Amino acid sequence: MSSIQIIGGGLAGLAAAYQFEKSGVDYELFEASPTFGGKVASSQVGGLLVDAGADNFLARPPVIQRFIQELGLGDSIELPQAKDPVQIYKEGELFPMPKGTYLGVPLMSSDEPVDVEPATTIGAAIRKEFSADVADYLVEPLLGGINASEIDNLELQSAAPKFAEAIENHGSLRAGLAKTVNISSQLPVFYGLKGTSMELVDAIVERLNPAKLHLDSPINELDPDRLTILATPAHASAGLFDPNSEIGQELSAIRYTHVGQVTLIFDESDVDPVLNSPGIVFPLKESKLISACSWLSAKWNRYQLPGKVVIRLTTGKNGADSHIVGPDQLSDTALTEALISELSEVVKVGEPESLRVVRWSNALPLYEVGHSARVGRIRQLAPINIAFAGAAYDGIGIPACLQSGILAAKSVTE
């Protein structure tokens, strides 16, 4: 029997390979690009190695705890440093994220079940129990930011499973979160890695047999006789099926959003005020191009340079992103100027000493209403020799992608 084929060398594909390596199963991994990691990457900005994609990940999922331990990354863990809370932009002013919130949702106890139809979107679930300001200014910029989509378009069940579970088990989000979230817990919520998130990618690759790994090796055709894990974005996977087939159409129907990031290094004297916060979020309601300003030099030790401020401006949400990749695409200079001009309403900056523009085309899948049903149909329609893994299906964050790779590996060998 030929070895199992893994297509895609992002974290999902690498996790599948790692699982095979540990269980002694023969495999080969094919990655189209010259590097492993996919949406996890880093590069130099002004002599500093800076993440170009994910710069942190949830610390609590058991899968991440296991990878950190097995890969010996314990000493590389960094915890976010900033002293002040995240700042929220509203009508030209900054307001701190209130204390006692979980992903923007105020934690307040209530045993009263909310007697209404179950919500299908995150936005609807929040709006039923909280004010419009909580939805638009606290939850939207955090959960909508992570998912690069507006919360009224994000399916509750797939994009915020913890919220869905809280409502199902306790009758309301208020009651559910009050009973299940412990914000005084000593366990951190997020981890970063001292050597950027690429440390995770490199540590996995180091444990794999190099003879089984193929870079610059796009797969353009599926082998019907070979067990295969498709750890590619849904649009890339769709291209491997007949476009008129049901599965090809279901995969193509998962929409993606482009994301742009401008990383800037300033002399501290050219920034006013210098924040000691993880950054600023710009709610969708404010109609800005910029969705977030991460204050990297306050957030992470690895980005602290004496006398300098390192920030990253992010743009791209909900598919309204052709200014990043598409017909209205702005040049690097125009994009940088547009984002800086919006930031300047609350933080004045001079000329940057260094900058890097990164454009991620089709960066993040949108978990729109109907997503979980579509994923179910994709898995049902999949040929018997194919398993799917990666951000398109059961969660876009790093832990979810690792877990999906492991589960796909287990499913094809069962």
Ligand X SMILES: Cc1cc2nc3c(=O)[nH]c(=O)nc-3n(C[C@H](O)[C@H](O)[C@H](O)COP(=O)(O)OP(=O)(O)OC[C@H]3O[C@@H](n4cnc5c(N)ncnc54)[C@H](O)[C@@H]3O)c2cc1C
- The residue ranges that bind ligand X (CB under 6 A) are 7-13, 30-33, 38-40, 53-57, 218-219, 231-233, 236, 259, 261, 360, 363-364, 390-391, 396-398, 401
Work out how close the CB of 36 gets to ligand X at its nearest, in angstroms, rounded to a whole number: 7
Q: Which is nearer to ligand X, 149 or 232 (CB)?
A: 232
Q: State which H helix or E strand residue 404 sits in.
A: helix 398-413
Q: Which is nearer to ligand X, 79 or 274 (CB)?
A: 79
The region that residue 180 occupies, defined by phi over 0 for left and psi between -120 and 50 for alpha, beta otherwise, is alpha
The conformation of residue 265, written as its DSSP 8-state character, comes to: E
Work out how close the CB of 281 gets to ligand X at its nearest, in angstroms, rounded to a whole number: 14
Q: Which residues contact 201 (CB under 8 A, 6 or more apart)?
A: 11, 14, 36, 37, 40
Work out how close the CB of 267 gets to ligand X at its nearest, in angstroms, rounded to a whole number: 26
The SS3 assignment for 362 reads strand
**Residue holding tokens 């090796």?**
217
Strands in 25-172 per DSSP E: 27-30, 42-45, 48-51, 57-58, 77-78, 87-90, 93-96, 101-102, 105-106
Residue 331 tokens, joined: 């040049």
Please give the Cα distance from 27 to 4 (Å, whole number). Answer: 4
Please give the Cα distance from 64 to 188 (Å, whole number). Answer: 13
Q: Which is nearer to ligand X, 33 or 354 (CB)?
A: 33
Q: Which is nearer to ligand X, 87 or 314 (CB)?
A: 314
Work out how close the CB of 126 gets to ligand X at its nearest, in angstroms, rounded to a whole number: 22
Q: Which is nearer to ligand X, 15 or 271 (CB)?
A: 15
Q: State which H helix or E strand residue 173 sits in.
A: helix 173-180
Chain center to CA of 56: 9
Work out how close the CB of 286 gets to ligand X at its nearest, in angstroms, rounded to a whole number: 21
Q: Which is nearer to ligand X, 2 or 131 (CB)?
A: 2
Q: Burial level of 254, CB count in 10 A (0-12/13-18/19+)?
A: buried
Q: Which is nearer to ligand X, 55 or 129 (CB)?
A: 55
Report the amino acid identity of residue 53: G
Work out how close the CB of 31 gets to ligand X at its nearest, in angstroms, rounded to a whole number: 5
Work out how close the CB of 313 gets to ligand X at its nearest, in angstroms, rounded to a whole number: 12
